[in-house]
Amino acid sequence: MPAPRALLAVPAGVAMVVGVDAGLTLLGVWAPVHSGRLSEAHGLLMVLGFVGTLVALERAVALGSPWGYAAPALLGSGALLLLAPGVDRLGHPLLVAGTAGLCLLYVPLWRRQRDDAVLVSALGAVLALGGAVLALGGADLPLALPWLAGFVVLTIAGERLELARLAMPPGAGTSLVLLGLAVTVGVPAATMWPRAGAGALGLVVLLLAAWLASYDVARRTVRGSGLPRFAAACMLAGQGWLAVAGSVWLIAGQPADGAAYDALVHAVFLGFAISMIMAHASSILPAVTRVPLPYRPAMWAPWLLLQVSLVLRLWGGDALGNDLAREVGGAGNAVALLLFFVVAAASTAMGPPGPRPVVAAAREPEVAR
């Protein structure tokens, strides 16, 4: 039976589905529900409503205190209110309250264990709060983009340090904290000085991608099999897309629209974030919901579709200016994301794979004896 707290993840699922639909509307391709109003909330739904709620829920479970669940509840409620006509503006204060609650979650976690991974993730929560405050103040999403991207990047980087610490050298945590502080300074710099500040942020993000590539165990486990190989492929792909995002910031500054903006947004939030979510889903979902998510080879299909469609969208669409490539790639992104959750749900419902049947040829010596 799922834990009751799993209900707090339902708004995150709704935000993800509606956010994907809104993204298709923005792209100008067929969407199940066409709504220009919801397309304006696409970014907040995906980052704070979907990713933010899940991160806050995972941290609340780690804390183990009832008050901690206020943060995912506020973020999920804020996302749902963004969908309601006439009261959608009430969603923004709840998102601010939810991100503030996420920041507060890290205080007892830090006191419990003064850990570098907790500190880096806490810096990401501070950036999420900054992005939510900007949205509450009426700022356009491109202005809040570095804040929301910083939240996702630092949260996942902290998670990687926490999960792979035993395979990292002693100084890895300290270097990540320094990079996290540099990102935290670079985000407001990119907001105030879109060219020079964003260029500096891009350089730091490239260094962070290099840190992940150097210290993560994925380079070794990708030679394995089963879940370790799948998770490693997801992580390596995510690191590559993070380097793409850093390169866009370094070369183009902080774009407000156009191809560079599209490439930056989707390299961070799809290429990096969703690849990392795919990598960690089998370990995080059971911890949060008490429902196992067994690995199955079918999980490779949405991962491969995500990577191919992103290359098509960013290279063929954004870099080469082919509108058809951008639309087909964007539609492929949406299908890949939804397909992964369909495969995950099916794998959960089917339960752990049974033991492999013994091949007849392998049993012959036993029969002979």
Tens-digit pLDDT profile for residues 204-236: 999 999 999 988 888 888 988 999 999 999 999
Domain boundaries, the chain: 4-352
User: Could you give the percent of the chain with pLDDT greater than 70?
Assistant: 93
State the Cα–Cα distance between residues 41 and 23, nearest whole angstrom: 9
**In terms of Cα–Cα distance, which of 77, 59, 78, 79 is closest to 69?**
59
Q: How many helices (H) and strands (E) does the chain have?
A: 17, 0
In Å, the largest CA–CA distance within the chain is 80
State the pLDDT at residue 355: 61
**Above 80 in pLDDT, residue 71?**
yes
**In terms of Cα–Cα distance, which of 289, 326, 292 is closest to 309?**
326
pTM of the model: 0.92
CATH top class, domain 4-352: mainly alpha
CB 160 within 8 A of CB 212: yes
Q: Which two tokens stand for residue 330?
A: 């964007």
State the Cα–Cα distance between residues 11 and 68, nearest whole angstrom: 17
User: What single string gives the DSSP state of each residue in 89-144?
Assistant: GGHHHHHHHHHHHHHHHHHHHHHH---HHHHHHHHHHHHHHHHHHHHHTT--HHHH
How many CA atoms, within 13 angstroms, populate the side-chain half-sphere of residue 157?
A: 39
How many CA atoms, within 13 angstroms, populate the side-chain half-sphere of residue 309?
A: 21
Q: What is the pLDDT of residues 112-154, one digit of tens each?
A: 988 999 999 999 999 999 999 999 999 988 999 999 999 999 9
Q: Angle between the 258-266 and 141-164 helix axes, to the nearest 10 degrees?
A: 30
